[in-house]
Amino acid sequence: MIFSIDVEDWCQSVLDANNPVTDRVYNNTLRLLDLLDEYQHKATFFTLGNVAKKHPDLIKKIAAAGHEVASHGYNHQSIFNLTPSQVKEDVGNSVKLLEDISGKKVIGFRAPDFSIREYLFEWYCEALAENGLKYDSSLFPMKVIKYGIEKEYSLKIFNKYHINEHYLSYMRVGKYKLPFFGGGYFRITPYTITKMLTKNLDHKRAVFYMHPYEIDTNELAAMKEEHGDIPLKWRLSQFIGRNSVEKKLHRVMNDFDFTSFEDQYYSEGSVSIPTNTLSNIDNEQHISENENIAAKTSFS
Ligand SMILES: [Zn+2]
């Protein structure tokens, strides 16, 4: 299984893009590094350029521990809010900075907030390819308020630019797909249920995802003190279940073998890369666009 972490600072990436990056992301990521070390797992750290700029030492520590440093863009701006040239610049700036600091080639990308739409595929893939990236892990298989694509789509454009797409793991609930393996879904679901649901996953291909702030149980109080009352939608979708995350991480790391995208697919002796299928639904039943639902809340 792949363990992936989107390295960002909550008050900058979610609360307000104009907030400065704080030390919380540094300290929380160090805690995750310790956890991974305890269980001898490797992970992919999709890191924001602004975090690397503020904490270059953190990038060095991630790379020195043998993990993969990949890009999550520079300022956590949604792809659909940027022009094609801005996307190229944002991806390029983050990749260059991460490579300069880590001393290693960056080959992977995850779009902020999984902000990919089908109409963006062409110039999104072009931006990744031009910056020397080999894979992407941004396709979120359920439509929620902020992000996700549920309809069937073609990955022909990804193939054209030789970008491998490693979309997030999901389970079937009737005709819908639930990306249960990470983020808010992991926080709110009892671990025994999460573990039971993983039985249906292709374990080699499965992708777990989380953010460093999800283990930060003191953040809400600190944010209230610093920024005033935090809107209810954020308190519900972003802070709920944080108390349980560290305990669950011990269990998930004990139960499964985790590695990085790089070690799994792109290093010598790694398993073969799954080819991009023509749609996001593999061999499963067709879901038409008019059957889509928008979830009532959006976790990330
Ligand atoms: Zn993010």
The CATH number of the domain holding residue 138 is 3.20.20.370
Position 170 in a domain: yes
Neighbours of 115 (CB within 10 A): 21
State pTM to two decimals: 0.90
Q: Distance, CA 184 to ligand 1 centroid (Å)?
A: 13
The pLDDT-based confidence of 149 (bands split at 50, 70, 90) is low
- Tell me what the mean pLDDT of segment 154-172 comes to: 89
pLDDT (0 to 100) of residue 234 = 86
Position 114 in a domain: yes
Question: Which of 15-29, 86-100, 146-160, 245-259 is the least confident region?
Answer: 146-160
Q: Distance, CA 254 to ligand 1 centroid (Å)?
A: 26
Q: Distance, CA 113 to ligand 1 centroid (Å)?
A: 5
The percent of residues above 90 in pLDDT, for the chain, comes to 70
pLDDT (0 to 100) of residue 212 = 98
pLDDT (0 to 100) of residue 172 = 79
Domain hosting 161: range is 2-291
CB–CB of 13/48 below 8 Å? yes
CB–CB of 168/139 below 8 Å? yes
Count the domains in the chain.
1
Position 279 in a domain: yes
Q: Distance, CA 84 to ligand 1 centroid (Å)?
A: 20
Q: Which two tokens stand for residue 150?
A: 């549920």
pLDDT (0 to 100) of residue 269 = 81
User: Cα 300 to the chain's mean position, in Å?
Assistant: 9
Residue 280 bridge partners (DSSP): none
Position 296 in a domain: no
Q: Distance, CA 46 to ligand 1 centroid (Å)?
A: 8
Q: Which two tokens stand for residue 68?
A: 């993969």
Q: Distance, CA 152 to ligand 1 centroid (Å)?
A: 24
Q: Distance, CA 233 to ligand 1 centroid (Å)?
A: 17
Q: Distance, CA 112 to ligand 1 centroid (Å)?
A: 4
Q: Distance, CA 78 to ligand 1 centroid (Å)?
A: 9
Q: Distance, CA 77 to ligand 1 centroid (Å)?
A: 9
How far is it, in rounded angstroms, from Cα 44 to Cα 143?
A: 24
Cα three-residue angle 247-70-135, rounded to 5 degrees: 110
How far is it, in rounded angstroms, from Cα 28 to Cα 149?
A: 30
Position 64 in a domain: yes
pLDDT in tens, 88-146: 999 999 999 999 999 999 999 999 998 888 889 999 999 999 999 999 999 876 666 56
Listed residue (86, 127, 133, 124) closest to 105, CA to CA: 133
Position 125 in a domain: yes
Question: Which of 134-143, 177-186, 192-201, 291-300 is the least confident region?
Answer: 291-300
Position 297 in a domain: no
Average predicted confidence (pLDDT) for the chain: 88
* DSSP 8-state assignment for residue 274: P
**Which three-class secondary structure state does DSSP give residue 80?**
helix
